[in-house]
Structure 1
Amino acid sequence: MKVLSLALALGVMSVATASAQTVKICDDEAGWPPYVYNPIENGAANTSKIEGAAVDFMAAVLGDAGIDHTIELLPWKRCLKEVADFGSGGDFEAFSNGSYNEERLKIYYITKPIYETNSGLFYSEAKFPNGLDLKSVDDAKKYKMCGVFGYNYENWNMTNDDLDTSAKTTEQALKKVEAGRCDAVLSSIEPVIGSAAIGKPIVPEGVKAQKFDFMDDLSFHIYIAKSSPRGEKLRDKIDASIDKLRGDGTHEQIFSKYLNF
């Protein structure tokens, strides 16, 4: 009986320890301002700090859900693989600021949206003084489009075969537009414009934004490894807190501090 009681006690302790274990989250080291980025201090990025609207909102959400967490910035493709491989070599249980993607649902649990952005592109004003002639998403395929390696373009109805994704960052892709190597870069509008708001503008002179009015807003989420034994429970707890904090004004209060450009 004592042996059985000890075994039960150890089992309860094990479950409690697992539920209290810190969630390790990764995100893109290239930054996604004003949602996640290393702040610029004395003219250089301070890599010891991570700030942004999504960072603050996730802290509020996870705090409300009673979940301890850490966040670390990695190369984006490595971040996705770390979470996909969680439990068998991957060190991170979740990644943040991931746009909605049906393919990802096969290997990750997806939370409710933590924010939305406007979909669009950035083009050379010198080459296209009146912008690109776009009446539907498919019209974009008439042009030579650039993107970023590892990013999701499902919302634009594009695959990697439809655009040049050799650039490792959005800044590199924008420079291709400036150099005339691409007609435009597909991107959410706010994170690119937001680079200037944190003192690190990445949009070259003469490159302009064009919003896709015919597209729905692009939603961004937290993705949790399906290989995590507590993954589904984490998702459900996070979803409940997202609903609560988007409904009580916390979300608006946090994001209005950063989206003031």
Structure 2
Amino acid sequence: MKKSSIIVIFIALFTHIAVAQPVHICRNGPEYAPYVYWERVAGKPTKTKIIGATTEFLQEIFRIVGLKYTQELIPWKRCLHEVANYGELKKYEMFTDGSYSEKRAKKYYISTPIYKLHEGLWYSKNKFPDTLPVIIPKDLNRFRLCGLAGNNYDWLLELGVTKRLDTGTIDLPSILKKLSAGRCDFYFNSLEPTYGGELVGKYTIPKDIVGVPFPGKRELTMHLFIAKSSSRAYELYTKINQAILLLQYQGIADQIYKKYTPGGTGL
């Protein structure tokens, strides 16, 4: 056999092995119920089994793609950094349950939407006991706004909200307490996962804190993200997208998400 033929066979074999390696996925460390969270036993997290709507959806996706995968819950900002720098760090190749932004699109291949959320505006009834002084998004520029470290708030600028957000808080329970204590006027987070966290006993929303649909009732699509620096990035992106579309066409995606949230739409 010619030396060139041996090289071609070796490259083909090596490529096949590389493509067949498990996909290591990092996910939102503080949990993101009802989409990503620890299984509960007697109301307490097991810290051994990750469950939720997107978790179940991932099982179906990778069954179709034909690859094994692992998943870990780690701090959100670290997760984004790890995937963005996969080419150098070689640890996590993908993350889940994130919203689209142009900034993210430069770093990751972003899947077709997997489900839809309804953006929420959170505030204290102690601060605003009657009518909310917010009719259009730009009205928010008159108030103190806060957000979570690592979250995507680019969409606010697109709606004319130019006031700088205080993003020094790292978890949802702390930011809800911050609102209740009057150290912030408004916080932005989707309604389903915020109420979902309370539903699984992860925290208690203070009695004075309520969430209402964001002015204009903004809807937010959520996606899967693949490291562009992965040697098989485009192949994963293509196969995962095909699997998502098939599961949506068959109605399986909607069945999964409706198990976890009534309005939960697997599109």
Structure-1-length-normalised TM-score: 0.93
**Which of these residues, 202, 205, 211, is aligned with residue 204 of structure 2?**
202
Corresponding residue for 2:168? 166
Corresponding residue for 2:144? 144
Deviates more, 1:192-201 or 1:10-19: 192-201
Verify: 1:190 aligned to 2:192, yes or no.
Answer: yes
* Alignment RMSD (CA, Å): 1.9
Deviation, structure 1 residue 247: 1.6
Corresponding residue for 1:130? 130
**Which of these residues, 227, 230, 234, is aligned with residue 228 of structure 1?**
230
Superposed, 1:29-178 pairs within 5 Å as 29-130=29-130, 132-157=132-157, 162-178=164-180
**Distance across 2 between alignment mates of 1:136 and 1:250:** 37
**Distance across 2 between alignment mates of 1:213 and 1:54:** 27
Instruction: Please say if residues 53 and 260 of structure 2, whose CA atoms lie closer than 8 Å, have aligned partners that are also in contact.
Output: yes
Corresponding residue for 2:218? 216
Deviates more, 1:246-255 or 1:155-164: 155-164
SS in 2 for 1:49: strand
Instruction: Please say if residues 109 and 228 of structure 2, whose CA atoms lie closer than 8 Å, have aligned partners that are also in contact.
Output: yes
**Which of these residues, 181, 184, 194, is aligned with residue 183 of structure 2?**
181
**Distance across 2 between alignment mates of 1:131 and 1:156:** 22
SS in 1 for 2:206: coil
1:141-183 CA-partner distances (Å, limit 9, x unpaired): 2221111111111222288961111110111111101111111
One-letter amino acid of the structure 2 residue matched with residue 4 of structure 1: S
SS in 1 for 2:86: coil
SS in 1 for 2:141: helix
SS in 1 for 2:189: strand
Instruction: Please say if residues 134 and 215 of structure 2, whose CA atoms lie closer than 8 Å, have aligned partners that are also in contact.
Output: no
Instruction: Please say if residues 149 and 167 of structure 1, whose CA atoms lie closer than 8 Å, have aligned partners that are also in contact.
Output: yes
**Distance across 1 between alignment mates of 2:128 and 2:138:** 18
How high is the sequence identity, in percent, across the aligned residues? 38
Relative distance call for 1:237 and 1:44 in structure 2 (3 A) is same
**Distance across 1 between alignment mates of 2:26 and 2:201:** 23
Q: Which runs of 4+ in 1 moved over 4 A?
A: 158-161
One-letter amino acid of the structure 1 residue matched with residue 4 of structure 2: L
**Distance across 2 between alignment mates of 1:171 and 1:156:** 22
One-letter amino acid of the structure 1 residue matched with residue 174 of structure 2: Q
Deviation, structure 1 residue 134: 2.3
Relative distance call for 1:80 and 1:150 in structure 2 (3 A) is same
Instruction: Please say if residues 86 and 228 of structure 1, whose CA atoms lie closer than 8 Å, have aligned partners that are also in contact.
Output: yes
**Distance across 2 between alignment mates of 1:213 and 1:252:** 27
Give the number of equivalent residue pairs: 261
Gaps of 5+ in 1: none
Instruction: Please say if residues 156 and 162 of structure 2, whose CA atoms lie closer than 8 Å, have aligned partners that are also in contact.
Output: no
Deviation, structure 1 residue 44: 2.8
Deviates more, 1:88-97 or 1:200-209: 200-209
**Distance across 2 between alignment mates of 1:234 and 1:160:** 37
Deviation, structure 1 residue 260: 4.0
**Distance across 1 between alignment mates of 2:4 and 2:74:** 45
Structure-2-length-normalised TM-score: 0.91
One-letter amino acid of the structure 1 residue matched with residue 223 of structure 2: H
1:175-199 CA-partner distances (Å, limit 9, x unpaired): 1011111112110110001113223
